[in-house]
Amino acid sequence: MGKIVIAIDGYSGCGKSSTAKAVAKDLGYTYIDTGAMYRAATLHFLNNHLSATNPQDVEKGLKSLEISFHLNPENQLQETYLNGLHVDDAIRSMQVSNNVSRIAALPAVRKDLVAQQQRLAKKKGVVMDGRDVGSVVFPEAELKIFMTADLETRAIRRQAELLEKGETIPLKDIIENLASRDEIDSTREVGPLIKVEDAIEVDTSNITFAEQVAFIVNKAREII
Ligand code: C5P
């Protein structure tokens, strides 16, 4: 069949990004982290003191927002840039995590970022992770995965990730953040997080990282 689009959606913190990255590497595909784009937009709003409830601020924020991905030749990792600055650390702070779902619920923000995501994946050979990839961005994706894991497992994993970056956050705060994002993401009017009918559910609570990657890669190879 040739190159396909793989959409990986699911709840916050269930390992979508690391899984998608590993699947892309295995298949020689491009990985696109749509969450990083909503996070970068949020950082832009926070840095410029723009209010999500003021339509003029939202318009101003979107006009001055430029998000891009660049491959770092030294480590072969794809890095996120906001208006020319590398922001991968800044967009994963708790401050951004606590505000991102509010910004991501704005229809104007979704419209712009979805259009950019569709342009980025035009050539196929792409693994894209997010909340609405299989439902809105690429409803025609050849392989759709819906990842889940129980809330506590997700929070423990996220806490370890943040600790590695030097941020010590109480588990309770992480559980609250994940639960609140899931709630806002699942109930918003535009592009809510849903499991579409043709998505394959992968519960990662009790399987290893290598197993979940192998499962998706095998599914992809059945189609390719
Ligand atoms: O994937 P990640 O957890 O980094 O995404 C951060 C936030 O961005 C999510 O909680 C959600 O509010 C928003 N998001 C979204 N649609 C996507 C990807 C992420 O609304 N496709």
Among 130, 141, 127, 114, residue whose Cα is nearest residue 198: 141
pLDDT value at residue 75 = 83
Taking all residues of the chain, what is their mean pLDDT, rounded to a whole number?
A: 96
Rounded mean pLDDT of 194-202? 97
User: Is the complex ipTM more than 0.95?
Assistant: yes
113 lines ligand 1 (CB under 6 A): no
d(CA 109, CA 8): 21
Q: Whose CA is nearest to atom 1 of ligand 1?
A: 35
30 lines ligand 1 (CB under 6 A): no
Q: Which residue shows structure tokens 């995965």? A: 145
CA of residue 169 to ligand 1 center, whole Å = 20
pLDDT value at residue 210 = 96
29 lines ligand 1 (CB under 6 A): no
pLDDT value at residue 76 = 80
pLDDT value at residue 2 = 86
Percent of the chain whose pLDDT exceeds 90: 91
130 lines ligand 1 (CB under 6 A): yes
Rounded mean pLDDT of 153-180? 94
Contacts made by residues 78-84, CB under 8 angstroms, sequence distance 24+: 78/30, 78/31, 78/33, 80/33, 80/36, 80/37, 80/39, 80/40, 82/40, 82/43, 82/44, 83/44
Rounded mean pLDDT of 147-160? 95
Rounded mean pLDDT of 202-223? 96
pLDDT surpasses 80 at 91: yes
pLDDT value at residue 1 = 75
CA of residue 216 to ligand 1 center, whole Å = 21
Mutation pick for ligand 1 pocket among 185, 187, 188, 195 (CB with most ligand atoms within 8 Å): 185
When computed from its CA atoms, the radius of gyration of the chain, rounded to whole angstroms, is: 17
pLDDT surpasses 90 at 92: yes
Q: Are 218 and 210 in contact (CB under 8 A)?
A: no
Rounded mean pLDDT of 43-50? 98
- pTM for this predicted structure: 0.96
Task: For residue range 95-136, list pLDDT tens digits in order.
Answer: 999 999 999 999 999 999 999 999 999 889 999 999 999 999
